[in-house]
Structure 1
Amino acid sequence: MKVLLLKDPKTKDLASDPYVKELSSHGLQATLIPVLSFKFVSLDHFFDKLSHPESYAGLIFTSPRAVEAVKLCLQKPAHKEAWKDHLCAKWNSKPVYVVGKATASLVEEIGLSSEGEGSGNAEKLAECICSKGLSYSAPILFPCGSLKKEVLPKKLQEKNVPLETITVYQTGPHPAIQVSLSDYFTKEGVPASIVFFSPSGLKYCLLFLKDLPSDQLNQIKFAAIGPTTAEAMAEEGIPVSCTAQNPTPQDLAIGIKQIGMQ
């Protein structure tokens, strides 16, 4: 059973991506096509903020790229030294909230402890933060992408949790996406399932998918990595056959196998 994963890879070797490996271990023929490209921006300004943990009540990371922005800041020797010397410890005295295991793992690599990884999406993370019932004299710092949803900021605002956002990366379509999709369908034929991992990934693939003949399109069962992506798919008229219970390779594999038996 062929499964096409439309996502940004976790490693340069696409075959070693955890989603590809997990689906393959279940006997599924998984192929990954990168659909997004990222450009990091305002990193000096971002590090200025990271250099003043006393001005914030904590940190929020909702994507691996936001943590990668910190890693890029720390490539400068002076920044790295300051981080090791005192900044990391000061941030660790405050809550660091994350969505997902991949983001939590990267946060650990920069020396920070995190909470909320099991929340699965920004909305549930916001609920987790608000449920703590803390009062804030300073905002939580939220490095994010140019296409961030307003769900988390809105929910926090409703509960009077102050937030300061800074855009640290811009998201765009992968330059080879149309060619890669065309090559896949030419060589591999129509996959049994296609999985979307983000609303932006869906956006950049729609043009190709809507050009497919209806008899091919009707053969495909579409899956979403989470509820936000599922909602975006439904809005575009893409039928959602399954949504992973949690955004993990294991839960996606379970969902794909279930719809494969239908």
Structure 2
Amino acid sequence: MRVVVTRPQHSGERTVQRLTEMGHEALLLPLSEPVHDAEAASRGLSETQDAIAVTSAEAIRALVALDQNLSPHLSRPLFAVGKATAKEARSVGFTHVLASEGSGIELAELIARNQTSTQQPLLYLAGLPRAAGFETRLSELNIPLRTVECYHMLDITPDDAILRKFFIDTPADAVLLYSRQTALRFFSLPFLRQHSYTLAPTRFLCLSEAIANAVPALLRIHAEIAAMPDEDSLLALLTAE
């Protein structure tokens, strides 16, 4: 199956490798790239003492530049959305990592169940843009929060020649969509808007219902939602009956 991966380069390369090992033809189409702010992350770490929360592996990658200055913080509890983000945290040396299976809302509830003290604010290493669910739910649970934006995603517009190759010359069978923002970016690309007919037979495999709702109404019949918001469940859709 010919599958388009709409992830940033770093994480997208790993997905491409997984798809290739599964026997698919994988095509990487980054629609954004991360810009890290290690200084902001460093200030956030130095000005807080309690647990850390991350909703994307990009927040962990922003910490890598701190090198040895990260060492004093590696024993702090770290709460992560999903197995992939938790794995990234462990790979840089965090020793006490807890992961939620689903969304930021579920991560907030995991934190509420595991926090022994609410005196010190939780440090949220966040990015832009981001969904509001995690911060909103923490507020509802009366958990104090210090949000530090340590990366932002910069939009990329692929060349029309690449889009023509992926969707017209040999049309893709499926497109993997990992975030609502990415889905909105994908369907707003001028080339695809001008040649929207090329997407008619394409499957849009979505990590969540919110992402599927970003698929244009005329194409939503081809949107499929992963059983769980993780990559294993998303890739399982490729072999589903």
TM range (shorter): 0.7 to 0.9
Query: What residue is the counterpart of 1:195 in the other structure?
Result: 176
2: CA distance between counterparts of 1:127 and 1:232? 26
Asked whether the 8 Å contact 1:35–1:177 carries over to 2, the reply is no
CA RMSD in angstroms, aligned pairs only: 2.4
C-alpha change, 1:213 and 1:200, in structure 2 (3 Å) is closer
Gaps of 5+ in 1: 75-79
Q: Are 1:210 and 2:206 counterparts? A: no
Question: 1:159: how far off?
Answer: 0.7
C-alpha change, 1:210 and 1:175, in structure 2 (3 Å) is closer
* Post-superposition CA distance 1:117-173 (Å, at most 9, x none): 342321211121223364400110011112011100000000101111011112121
Asked whether the 8 Å contact 2:212–2:223 carries over to 1, the reply is no
TM-score (norm 2): 0.86
2: CA distance between counterparts of 1:205 and 1:168? 25
Task: Choose the corresponding residue for 1:232, options 192, 198, 214.
Answer: 214
Asked whether the 8 Å contact 1:40–1:169 carries over to 2, the reply is yes
TM-score (norm 1): 0.79
Asked whether the 8 Å contact 1:107–1:114 carries over to 2, the reply is no
Query: What residue is the counterpart of 1:221 in the other structure?
Result: 203
SS at match of 2:163: helix
Gaps of 5+ in 2: none
SS at match of 2:204: strand
Query: What residue is the counterpart of 2:6 in the other structure?
Result: 6
Question: 1:228: how far off?
Answer: 4.0
1: CA distance between counterparts of 2:161 and 2:151? 25
C-alpha change, 1:150 and 1:119, in structure 2 (3 Å) is same
Q: Are 1:155 and 2:137 counterparts? A: yes
* Post-superposition CA distance 1:91-126 (Å, at most 9, x none): 52x421011222212211221124443423212111
Query: What residue is the counterpart of 1:123 in the other structure?
Result: 105
Number of aligned residue pairs: give it.
Answer: 237
Asked whether the 8 Å contact 2:52–2:78 carries over to 1, the reply is yes
Query: What residue is the counterpart of 1:70 in the other structure?
Result: 63
Question: 1:177: how far off?
Answer: 5.5
2: CA distance between counterparts of 1:10 and 1:227? 25
